Structure 1
Amino acid sequence: MFQRLFITHPASVGETYFEHMRASLGTAGKLARASAACLVHAIVPGLCKTTGSTAIMALHSEIYPRRFDQPTL
């Protein structure tokens, strides 16, 4: 169970547990900033007009090439 939850997936993408944690936390941070920008835009439409969509496109181009067709759990 430990192996499946903490070792197998990071190894399948060529990373250690801590390398994978760092990459995942980086993605989470980018998503949090994009989410905050979308929230600001919802309240003041003249601000952050393209920040959210630009972040989504950048993350897609970063993550999609590394995608593996495998279940996450």
Structure 2
Amino acid sequence: MFDRIFLSHPRSIGESYPEHAVTAFAFGIRMIGGGLACLVHGVVPALFTRTASNTVKALYGRMKSRQPAYQQRPPAFTEPDWQLEYEI
């Protein structure tokens, strides 16, 4: 039970529990920051005009780069210059 809950998933992606925890916390902190910026932007549209979009793009690029198929080449989505059709 302990192995299934705490160790199975990190092991399946080639990480130890501490490595996976650090990565997950880093993603979570970035997501919270982007979410807060988005909430402020909803109230004052002139503030944080690209912060949420850039955060999503950076996290997506980082997540894709962690996948074995994408480790040979960096994904195009890591650069904030890459634009979605719709920005938040």
TM range (shorter): 0.7 to 0.9
Structure richer in helix, relative to its length: 1
Aligned length: 68
Q: 5 Å matches for 1:1-73?
A: 1-67=1-67
% same residue: 37
Q: CA deviation at 1:13?
A: 1.2
Q: Name which structure has the greater RCO, CA cutoff 8 Å, separation 6+.
A: 1
Structure 2 runs not aligned, ≥5 long:
69-88
Counterpart residue number, 1:71? none
RMSD, aligned α-carbons: 1.3
3-state SS of the aligned residue for 2:35? helix
Structure 1 runs not aligned, ≥5 long:
69-73
TM-score, length of structure 1 as denominator length: 0.86
TM-score, length of structure 2 as denominator length: 0.72
